[in-house]
Amino acid sequence: MILSSKKRVLVTCLLSIALPVSASCLGSGDAEIEALAKDIGRQPHQALQAIELALTPERNLTVERRAWFEVARAQAKRMLGLEKAELPQAIEDAKELPQGHPALLNLQIANLYGAELSTSTFALVDSFKLQLAQLPSNQPTTLCSKIRLASVMADYNALNGETFELASDVYHHANTAQLAWMRAEAASVLGQVALRADNNYGRQLNEEALLYFESQGMYDMVANELFMSGLSWAGQRDRDSLQKAEQQFLRSEAAAALALNPFGITYAKAGLCRVQVELGRIEEALHSCSTSLQQLKGIGHVTEYSTIVNYAAALLADDSPEQAMDLLAPLTKEWPGFDVSYYGYRFYDTRGRTHEALGNADAAIADLKLALRELQDYESNSWERNNRLMQSRFRVEELLGNLERKKQEAEESEKRNSLLIGVGIIIVSLLLIIVRILVRHRRIYRSMAFTDPLTGLANRRYTMVRAQEAFEHAKARQQQLYIALIDLDRFKSCNDRYGHDAGDEALQQFARVAESVLRPGDLIGRWGGEEFLLVLQGIDKDTAAKVLERLRDAAAKVRLTLAPEYPLQFSAGVVEPSSENTSIEELVMLADKALYRAKEAGRNRSCFAEVPMQNVPQPSA
């Protein structure tokens, strides 16, 4: 449904800094152009050189082919953060094509990127959506054009619902192996939007896109997905999440380096700047902030704004308030023409604290009041961010109250003033401790619903949910999948001889070994008793067997403290879904029968289910 432009709210909301852009397929039907489009996702700088060589007059291109090459050039320059100065002329030249021609439409969409959010922007988006609605829904040209428009719309929080609807349409129609690229692109855009409200769902979509891009060696796209993953972890703000965010930003930086994209490296550095400030690693933060700001300076984008604010916060933490104020002084909340949302609050909050450090109490109080107003406006836009906002609002209100009280009490005796400040510090510290305990308990309760308390792995219920999702995903994408039911050998004898504490240690040690040995995309959870369920995605039978043997070798090296003579060995029944299988329960039953065969054959081995088996006796544990 296309909403009236007047009914939309003109507000752009960013997770922390502006998201980098992702390449997209073109759907031109031209093998040379589509190969270049994929190369943009690998190494955009080299791809741009090849595109510009193709656009030389000597090629004598038709109007249509030249228009598609210009679309590819605009995409490559967008990835590299370069100005698209030739785009207006390219649009004029392409007007020789019929109105609504996909090449002309894609050029016009490319010209929308970076536009300030306004009524005219909404009108253009509506116009493009209407034109796309006239094209066949399941054709590559249509799907790629929708992805391109959705990736532009994703920059604006006011268009979240429409962006998600448009990208979802592509995601559901790109349901064949031939359209895998387009499905991955759609998953990337959906993940970008979903991360603003639901980190878990956003990361799930993000992971799907990442797996495809990694398989294709599309390093720049990999860098983009890792960057978005880093933003989602950074948004949770607890120490563990910030450390995960830092790892994702470092991986993004490495992928951008492989793609030879300095713009991608700069974005990763900007992400590191933010999380290192919050982790209190100020020396590293200063380096990351300075390095990224050198490249971002002058681009006139909100990313430059947010990095300046983070850099100033790092300088303030480094006891350099004068340098922090030098950075903040030229900024206003409206710079550079975008509504910077959460960073409006961050700007006033940081500047207010800087004024406080410089002894400017009146200016500090004024800025902190503005910070509270910005935070209240931002808070009203998203219920999902309420917990973080309430904590931030509490801190600012407390600081504001302390500053005003200090100013009033300056006329009173030094002893009374010191006593009140001391009491205030104690109260704030206790309240912060209470807030941290409540937040930590909330995470613990959520984790308890999905986690086996003994091993720390997913519990049976959550394992079943994830396994069913993997099964349906593999079936829809026509990918290979193996389900393995694992049973620790002679576990009952371990319990009988050494006691149940030794049995618990065996289960815990096996879980740790599995987590360290299995691949990032593999799923393992505790099925019950001494049984575990393992889901191996996207591999053939030989590789599945090797993964199980690698796990077996690693487990054999473990020596239990409470049961030193008990060998940590297992038997496994493995099954590959066929077209007749309809549920994960059916597959587990087949794997269970194969497990019995492994036990009968002497244990400490894996058996693959070839055909349905009948009347197989169950060996003793």
The string of DSSP letters for 454-519 reads TT-SB-HHHHHHHHHHHHHHHHHHT--EEEEEEEETTHHHHHHHH-HHHHHHHHHHHHHHHHHHS-
For residue 535, the surrounding DSSP H or E stretch is: strand 531-537
Interacting residues of 387 by C-beta distance below 8 A, sequence separation 6+: 439, 442
Q: What is the distance between the alpha carbons of residues 479 and 537, in angstroms, rounded to a whole number?
A: 8
For the question of residue 530 being annotated catalytic, the response is: yes
Q: What is the distance between the alpha carbons of residues 65 and 103, in angstroms, rounded to a whole number?
A: 9
Structure tokens at 296: 């971002």
Q: What is the distance between the alpha carbons of residues 267 and 306, in angstroms, rounded to a whole number?
A: 11
Q: What is the distance between the alpha carbons of residues 170 and 146, in angstroms, rounded to a whole number?
A: 7
What is residue 532's three-state secondary structure?
Answer: strand
* Residue for token pair 């004068």: 322
Distances (CA, A) of 119 to 6, 105, 116: 7, 20, 10
Which residue is catalytic, options 278, 530, 586, 600? Answer: 530
For residue 48, the surrounding DSSP H or E stretch is: helix 44-54
Q: What is the distance between the alpha carbons of residues 289 and 311, in angstroms, rounded to a whole number?
A: 5
Distances (CA, A) of 317 to 282, 290, 323, 350, 359: 7, 15, 11, 10, 16
Helix%, strand%, coil% for the chain, nearest 5 = 65, 5, 30
Residue numbers annotated as active site: 530
